Each structure stands twice: as C-alpha cells, then as structure tokens.
C-alpha cells in the first residue's frame, strides 16, 4: 500500500479494518479504509479494468465540483499529473476521502423533514454547478428506451410479470411522448438517503457517483422519492418527501416548470429496481415492486394534489 499511496504523494500509515464501509460493495473488486500519516482516512477501491476510464472521469468531475464549492462533494485523491485513478500491481485503484457519519435510522429517517430539505438543496446546487462546465457523457439509453429494453428482456423470460407490466406501461405513454422536451441537468444518478453520509439530519457527504451524468431535471428527486416511498407509501406525503419536493420547487425554476412529469419519472425508475430483483431472483421483492408500481399509478393524482398544496403554500 505504501507504493500506491506514494503515487498520490501521500504517505500510507495503516489499514483500518475496524471501520464499516457504507454503500454498495458490488461497485468495485475490493475496498478497504486506510489512514495516511496525517490521520486522514481514505476509501481505497480496487476497480475492474473496464471501470478505470469512467471512474477517472467521474473523479475529475468531483474534483471540479469540489473546486466550485458544491456542498457535500469531496474530491478523490489526485496524482501529480491530475488523475484520480492509477495502476498498481496491474489493477486500477482510486482513493476517495472516507467520511465518518452517524447511522441512518430506518425507516424513521423517512419522517425527517430536515433530511428532505437537505437533499433538495443538494440537488439544486448540483444542478446549478452543472451549468457552469461541461458534463461528462456516458453512453446510456434514455429512460423510454431503457424501460423498453427491460420489458423486452422480461417478456422473453417471465411472461407472468410481462402480463402485469402490460397494465402499467400505458400510464407512461404521455411521459415517453414528451420525454425529449424535458430539460437536462447534472445528476448524481443514484440519489437516495443510503448514498448520503449523514451527521444527524445534515449531509456530510454524498457517495457512489458511478451513475452521474446529464439526465432529465427530475431524475435525482424521482429516484430519491421512489426509494423513500417503498419503505411505506405514507412517506410519499409525509416527512422527507414533501419537503424535498417543496425545496426543489421553490428554488429551481426548471424543476418547477416540469413537476407534472415527476410522478411518471418515479414510476419509470422503479423498472430498474424490478430488473435488479429479477437478477437476484428475489420473488418477494418482485411482487412488492409490482404492487408499488400499481400504487403509484392508483395514487398519482392524490399524491400530486398533496404536494401542490404543500409547495403552493410556500
């Protein structure tokens, strides 16, 4: 590890196996926390070979955002020639600051209004910063194409689920038809409370940026709303979610002008989770996800009216 740290002009002190690492371990080959000679903690990630270029691009984006003083964004370690990924023992590695936070109480966090305000402010400031420089591009399909591909795959493997999706897809037709006209903005790409390091109800840092890029302006909010609402549907109109929506509406004109697309975006993004449950062969979560999709459709107007009463009063 000493040689790896030297490539970043850092001095390795010791590994810290006593520290639990949040976020998904599937996003790299191996990871651990290490401490340098100054007492700074680093998350050391051994990457897959095909991750190196994109993770370096994302790392440079985070360094730019950190320079722009976007709150809660921490720059990865940089080499003397300005790169964030290096080759060590034949594999790519990346070092990012490790932030120690407080545990997220589940599901109680869903009721914390302060967390909703904090997440809304973060997304707004991230989008504002994204307008000041070029956003890195990654070859990803637009949401209508992405959903269609998932549905095609399901149709060939799980006709029972495909039949249920036949009742859900018509509710996305208007959204898909108008999708290209929705403005784009810089997005985290996987924004939800578990990808945030918290100090009580304040944000200390945001992690897992692999899916960042230019996406529709509603993307991060919709992803977060969907992840909170599946904990229990009541959280769609109580606590964190209404404060998130209100904070973004009050301070983000582009978001406000397209808020009628927010619920369809939430529904659309749940297809990624359904695909994940199918990949893991998790039958219980598959059924829960389908029930959740149907609930979002059934309760769409009621939820939107509740949100409107809330943000119109501010």
Give pLDDT, residue 173: 97
Q: Could you tell me whether strands 41-46 and 91-97 are parallel, antiparallel, or unpaired per DSSP bridges?
A: antiparallel
Q: What is the dihedral of CA 122, 128, 133, 134, to 10 degrees?
A: 80
Give pLDDT, residue 91: 98
Give pLDDT, residue 98: 98
- Domain residue ranges in the chain: 2-97, 108-312
* CA dist., res. 242 & res. 96, Å (int): 32
Give pLDDT, residue 263: 98
To which H or E segment does residue 276 belong? helix 262-279
* CA dist., res. 215 & res. 184, Å (int): 5
In CATH terms, the superfamily for domain 2-97 is Phosphorylase Kinase; domain 1 (3.30.200.20)
Which regions of the chain are under pLDDT 70?
none
Tell how many helices (H) and how many strands (E) occur in the chain. Answer: 12, 9
pLDDT in tens, 15-58: 999 999 988 888 899 999 999 999 999 999 999 999 999 999 99
To which H or E segment does residue 208 belong? none
* CA dist., res. 118 & res. 243, Å (int): 9
Determine contact, residues 169/151, Cβ cutoff 8 Å.
Answer: yes
Give pLDDT, residue 212: 97
Give pLDDT, residue 65: 96
* CA dist., res. 144 & res. 268, Å (int): 8
| pTM of structure | 0.96
> What is the number of alpha carbons within 13 Å of residue 19 lying toward its C-beta?
19
Q: What is the 3-state secondary structure (H, E, C) of 86-148?
A: EEECCEEEEEEECCCCECCCCCHHHHCHHHHHHHHHHHHHHHHHHCCCCCCCCCCCCHHHHHH
* CA dist., res. 120 & res. 217, Å (int): 12
Q: Which fold has domain 108-312?
A: Aminoglycoside 3'-phosphotransferase; Chain: A, domain 2 (3.90.1200)
């Amino acid at each position: 590890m000493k040689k790896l740290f030297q490539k970043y002009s850092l001095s390795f002190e010791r590994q810290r196996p006593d520290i639990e690492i949040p976020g998904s371990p599937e996003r790299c080959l191996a990871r651990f926390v290490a401490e340098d000679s100054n007492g700074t903690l680093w998350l050391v990630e051994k990457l897959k070979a095909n991750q190196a270029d994109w993770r370096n691009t994302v790392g440079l984006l985070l360094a730019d955002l950190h320079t722009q003083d976007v709150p809660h964004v921490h720059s990865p370690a940089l080499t003397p020639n300005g790169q964030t990924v290096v080759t060590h023992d034949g594999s790519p590695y990346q070092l990012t600051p490790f932030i120690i936070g407080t545990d997220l109480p589940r599901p109680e966090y869903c009721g914390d209004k302060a967390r909703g305000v904090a997440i809304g402010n973060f997304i707004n400031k991230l989008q504002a910063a994204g307008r000041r420089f070029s956003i890195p591009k990654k070859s990803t399909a637009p949401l209508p194409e992405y959903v269609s591909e998932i549905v095609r795959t399901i149709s060939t493997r799980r006709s029972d689920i495909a039949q249920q999706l036949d009742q859900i897809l018509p509710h996305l037709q208007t959204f898909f038809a108008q999708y290209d006209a929705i403005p784009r903005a810089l997005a985290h790409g996987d924004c939800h409370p578990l990808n945030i390091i918290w100090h009580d109800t304040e944000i200390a840092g945001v992690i897992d940026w692999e899916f960042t890029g230019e996406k529709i302006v509603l993307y991060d909010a919709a992803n977060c709303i969907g992840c909170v609402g599946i904990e229990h549907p009541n959280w769609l109109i109580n606590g964190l979610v209404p404060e998130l929506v209100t904070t973004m509406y009050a301070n983000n004109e582009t978001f406000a002008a397209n808020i009628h697309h927010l619920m369809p975006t939430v529904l659309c993004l749940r297809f990624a989770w359904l695909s994940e449950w199918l990949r893991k062969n998790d039958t219980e979560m598959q059924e829960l996800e389908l029930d959740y999709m149907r609930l979002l459709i059934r309760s769409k107007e009621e939820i939107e009216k509740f949100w409107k009463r809330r943000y119109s009063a501010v």
